[in-house]
Structure 1
Amino acid sequence: MKPEIVITGASGFVGMNLIPYLQKANNLTRRLDRNELENEFSLNGSYAIVHLAGKAHDLKKTSNPDEYYQVNFELTKKLYDVFLKSDIKKFIFISSVKAVADIVNGTLTEDALPNPKTDYGKSKLMAEHYIQSQELPEGKSYYILRPCMIHGPGNKGNLNLLYKFVEKNIPYPLASFQNKRSFLSIENLCFVINELLQKDIFSGIYQIADDKSLSTNEVVEILAGSLGKRPKLWGIPSNLIRGAAKFGDIFKLPLNTERLNKLTENYVVSNEKIKKALNTEFPVTSQDGLTLTAKSFGL
């Protein structure tokens, strides 16, 4: 009988996409839910662990900071300790590029010195450090994956907000901002995880992003194309937009400073290391992945 792949965080966005992907590739999967993870459990007889469970970054900043460390660090530490004592061969931990940097100048690589500013990023980095600091028994491997912004069918967020602008024929008013940022299609993330389960590569940290970075203007064009529309781009002076965003901070409007930064910042992530290690190309292009996500918004 083929050994099973243990998945934590199976009910989340990545988990709901990863499990059918792995099953389609003839992998057996086992869900490890939060209650089991917080109590005693045994995973002997399994082949690998894919640790997706975690507390996501709260853009509304209403979360208790301690929750990030309890979930993202302490639970990861506990699970990794179980892995080290078991007969499981591989441990895949989904971290984040936010464990390294909140602002990127140039292109982010695995060589960058981590300097996270949020409790989310700091807690992920603590988990990374713990994994790296433990002696790894012979025959075992760990992979710390740092994805950038993940998107795909069923995922909401800023992309969905942009889509609604385009769908309602509302001009995109931030066209004067010139930026580039990386995205990650859920299809490419699932592909990388499956490849890591099948191949023997060196343990370590690997960033994951689609091949091509895109400007927000290009994203608007892709979203418009998915609807059969022509994009409406308005180049309102950036200083006026920043003033409006500060007004939004005060009155809790949809456009605030944090959301403006998310839409217009530069955040380019290199995927060169993981592609070289796997010696393969990703199955989905940046544009095709975003088009698929956009079409799902209209369902």
Structure 2
Amino acid sequence: MNILITGAFGFVGTNLAKSIKSELVAQLIAMDIFQPEDHVYDEFIFWDDLNKKKNEEFDTIIHLAGKAHDVKNTTDEASYFEINVELTKQIFEFFIHSKASKFIFFSSVKAVADEVKGNRLNESEFPNPKTPYGKSKLAAENYLHGITLPKNKKLYILRPCMIHGPGNKGNLNLLYKQVASGIPWPLGSFENERSFTSIDNLAFVINALLQKDIKPGTYQIADDEVLSTNKLIELIAHSKGKKAHIWCINKRIIQSLAKLGDIIHLPINSERLKKLTESYVVSNEKLKKALQVEKMPMKAERGIIKTILSF
């Protein structure tokens, strides 16, 4: 099995490659803008060399390359579309004319909604992203849906929620640093529920798509269980052998400070408070039905602990 992976040396690509190698006899071709000294891929090519591979017999193309969400909001909207849409067009055009039969595109739940209305987000929700990142991912999805594929080719659009695992440098890492420093968490009075995606469960899905005849379509990826921010803080503190310092300050006081922060630029404001305390629950039922499994292999709490211990 020959598999081409774009964005191969990012956090997800690095972990996926190791998992695929442990599960399958496969030739992995990495495509990225740089090549680290240590990796498990069999071959590396730059994006500019893609056309040189038009006669290669690939079985599957996994498109990971893209511009991730900028939490500091310093990136202009055009940059998201230039990378997340135009690169997708380029690699999908290559796929159409190649001998590959499967194209796996990594989108995001943020292509659908920045906040979940109701109990949980599912694939039937009408997409209404608010951020440039989400809008660009949805635009890429719409482009893919607009192409009529030959019957021998399959398209899978995957929408994971927050992915974590060894090597992760996202928000979970920032929360870890805060707890490890001993700074108390002042928002304990806000109870929320959030979905996460363990890199182990993500790898399980990819290996299934590579090996089995799964119905093509759009699928959300999430762990089965949800976790609250307070629970995350407890898990991080326990991993460090410490007691979790969670302050349950009256909600009204916190909300008043947040409104004041909107005016005089405090560390907390209404938007940041919402992001820190809101619930975001993602359904994975459609995916499990397609894979014919009752449960994902990695439990949410065990996956989080594995990630925390890797920091």
Contact kept, 8 Å, 1:22 with 1:28, in 2: the verdict is: no
Distance, in Å, in 2 between the alignment partners of 1:250 and 1:232 is 29
Could you say which residue in structure 2 is the equivalent of 1:13? 11
**Residue number in structure 1 paired with 2:70:** 58
Quick one: structure 1 residues 103 and 19, their matched pair in 2 at CA, closer, same or farther if it must change by over 3 Å?
Answer: same
Aligned length: 295
Q: For 1:48-197, what aligned pairs fall within 5 Å after superposition?
A: 48-105=60-117, 106-197=119-210
How far off its partner does 1:245 sit? 4.4
Distance in 1 between residues matched to 2:211 and 2:249, nearest whole Å: 50
On the 8 A contact 1:38/1:75 being kept in 2, the answer is: no
Q: Who is 1:23 aligned against? A: 21
Tell whether 2:296 aligns with 1:282: yes
- Which deviates further from its counterpart, 223-232 or 3-12? 223-232
- The offset of 1:255, in angstroms, is 4.6
Q: Deviations over 1:239-297 (max 9, x none)?
A: 33344446666777765554433321110000111111111232211000110111112
Cα-to-partner distance string for 1:103-138 (whole Å, 9 max, x where unaligned): 102200000000011111111111111111211112
| C-alpha separation in 1, matches of 2:263 and 2:3 | 47
Contact residue 93 and residue 143 of structure 1 kept, 8 A = yes
1:37 and 1:79 in contact (8 A); partners too? no
**Residue 167 to residue 133, structure 1, CA distance change in 2 (3 Å):** same
Q: Aligned pair in 2 of structure 1 residues 214, 20: CA closer, same or farther (>3 Å)?
A: same
Q: Do the aligned partners of residues 127 and 229 (structure 1) sit closer, same or farther apart at CA in structure 2, a change above 3 Å counting?
A: same
- C-alpha distance in structure 2 between counterparts of 1:53 and 1:214, whole Å: 28
Q: Deviations over 1:87-106 (max 9, x none)?
A: 10100000000000001022
Match of 1:235 among 232, 248, 253: 248
Name the CA distance, whole Å, in 1 between partners of 2:271 and 2:13: 27
Other-structure match for 2:310: 296
Which 10-residue stretch deviates more, 242-251 or 118-127?
242-251
Amino acid at match of 2:163: I
> Gaps spanning 5+ residues in structure 2: where?
34-44
Letter in 2 for 1:215: S
Cα RMSD, aligned residues only? 2.0
- Contact map agreement 1:179 1:216 (CA 8 A) in 2: yes
User: 1:93 is matched by which residue type in structure 2?
Assistant: F
- Preserved contact between residue 89 and residue 139 of structure 1 (Cα < 8 Å): yes
Separation in 2 of the partners of 1:149 and 1:289? 12
Matching residue of 1:33: 32
In 1, Cα distance between equivalents of 2:179 and 2:280: 23
**Cα deviation, residue 28, structure 1:** 1.8
1:198 correspondence with 2:211: yes
Identity over the aligned pairs, expressed in percent?
54
Moved more, 104-113 or 229-238: 229-238
Q: Secondary structure at the match of 2:140?
A: helix
Against the structure 1 CA distance between its residues 112 and 78, is the aligned structure 2 distance closer, same or farther, given a 3 Å change threshold? same
**TM-score normalized by the length of structure 2:** 0.88
Q: Distance in 2 between the 1:15 and 1:268 partners? A: 25
SS of the aligned residue for 2:85 comes to helix
Deviations 1:174-224, CA, capped at 9 Å, x for gaps: 111121110111111111111111111111100000001111111112212
